[in-house]
Amino acid sequence: MQFTYYRTVRFQDTDAAGVVYFANVLSMCHEAYEASLVTFGIELQLFFTNPTIAIPIIHASVDFHRPMYCGDQLQIELNSHQLDEQKFEITYLIIAISSPQKPLAIAVTRHICIEAKNKTRTLFPEKIKQWLSFSI
C-alpha cells in the first residue's frame, strides 16, 4: 500500500520547547494509517471493533532528523508491505511540504493479525490483503 496523507502540525502536538512531542509523531502516523484504510473502503468502526480479528501494533519506532513546529505543513508518505501471511510493516516518511528534499522523521510500525478471542496468530482477512497491495 502506498498512500500520501497531508497534515498541519497543531499547537496541541508540541511540547514546552515548541517542537512536536516525540510520541505525537506516532499519533500522526496512525492518522495516516486510518486515512489509508478509509480511502480503500474499510469502515474504521468495524475494523477497530471486530469481534473476531484484531491487527495490533507489535513494534513502533521513529528516527527524527529535523524538528517539526506548530503550523508546519506535513506530507506523510505511508508505504506498507506484507512480511508474511500474518504480519505487515508500515514505513512513514514525514516531510515538510516547504522543503521536501530532507525528511523530518521516518517512522515504522509493525502489525500482526490475531484472533481477538484467544490472541493467537491468524491469516489476514481478504480485505487487508487487498489493502496491502493497493496504491493511491
Digit-coded pLDDT (tens) for 65-111: 999 999 999 999 999 999 999 999 999 999 999 988 899 999 999 99
Domains of the chain: 2-124 (3.10.129.10)
Residue type, 73: Q
Q: Which strands, in side-by-side order, build the sheet including 73-84?
A: 2-8, 73-84, 87-96, 99-112, 57-64
Instruction: Categorize the per-residue pLDDT at 38 as very low, low, confident or very high, splitting at 50, 70 and 90.
Output: very high
CB 44 within 8 A of CB 33: no
Residues annotated catalytic, as ranges: 15
